[in-house]
Chains A and B, each alone.
Chain A
C-alpha cells in the first residue's frame, strides 16, 4: 500500500497522544518538558505531511516547522532557567509541591 497522508497523520496523532499522556502523568517538571517536545514534534510531522501531500509546490509547512523549532528552542531556554530557580528554591521538581510562587 502506498504511504500517504493518512499514515503520517495517524503517526502524528499517536505521538501527540503519547506526548499528552506524558505531560499528564509525570510528576517531574523535566519529564513534562520532554513530553512537550514530543508534542511539538508531532505537530512538525503533521505540518510537513500536509505540505508534502497537499501543496508540494509551496513551502509553508517548512516555514512553520522552522518557526516551531525556533520557538521550541526559546521555550527550552526559558523553561530550563525556571527549572533551575525552582530547584534552587524548593530542592525538588515535583509539580505537586510547586503550589506557591514563593515559599
Chain B
C-alpha cells in the first residue's frame, strides 16, 4: 500500500516536473525543475530497490550535470528574457507525434506478457554484485566508457578553450561599437592572465 502511494506520488511529481521543464519560459527554472524530476526518479529508484543508483543519481545527475547546465545557462542566455518566443513552428505538430509514439509503445508494452509472475527478493549485497559485474562481464564496456570520458574531457577543454580564434560577430551592439573586440573577454578573463 505504502509502496503504491509512494509510486503514484513520485510518478505524478516526476511527470509534472518534466512537463514544467519543457514548458517553462524561464530556462533557469526549467533546470531547477529538471533537478526536481531527477530527485523524484531517484525516489522511484529506491522503490525499485536500487538505492545505490538512486544515490549516484543524486550525486552525479543533480550535483554535477544539472549544475553544469545551470553554469552554461548563467554564462550564455539572458534568463529573464521571458517574452521571447520559446517554441518553434512545430509546437502543435510535435505533441501529436509524441502522443502517437506514446500510444504505440504503450500498446506494445501492454500487449507483451512479461513473465513477472513471482517477484523474488533482491540480493542483499547489490553493491558487491555491481562491482563484480562491472569488472568481469562488463569490463570491455567499462573500459570503453572510461576512455570515452577521458576523450570527452579533453575534447570539451579543447573546444571551449579556443580563444585565439577570432569571434565572427560583426553586429553592432548597444554602444555603437562593433562586437568584435568585446566578445572575448567575458568568457576567457581568467585565461588571459596566464
Chain A residues close to B by CB (< 8 Å): 1-11, 13-22, 24-28, 30-31, 33-35, 37-38, 41, 44-45, 48-49, 51-54, 56-63, 65-67, 69-78, 80-85, 87-91, 93, 95-96, 102-103
Contact = CB atoms under 8 A, between A and B. Distances in A.
B85 interface: yes
A1 to B, nearest CB: 7
Nearest to B6: A3
A54 B4 CA distance: 19
- Chain A residues touching B, majority SS: helix
A54 B122 CA distance: 11
B120 A74 contact: no
A59 B129 contact: yes
Contacts of A102: 168
Interface in B16-74: 18-19, 21-22, 27, 30-31, 34, 37-38, 41, 44-45, 47-50, 52-53, 56-57, 60-61, 64-66, 68-69, 71-73
Interface string B127-152: 00110011000100100010011001
- Chain B residues touching A, majority SS: helix
A21 B98 contact: yes
A9 B119 contact: no
Nearest to B153: A77
Given A6-B109, A93-B76, A26 B22 contact: yes
B152 A78 contact: yes
Contact of B15 (A14, A41, A70): A14
A67 B89 CA distance: 35
B86 A26 contact: yes
B176 interface: no
A87 to B, nearest CB: 4
B4 A10 contact: no
Interface in B115-129: 115-116, 119-123, 126, 129
B122 to A, nearest CB: 5
A15 B30 contact: no
Contacts of B69: 30, 33-34, 37, 76, 80
B41 A69 contact: no
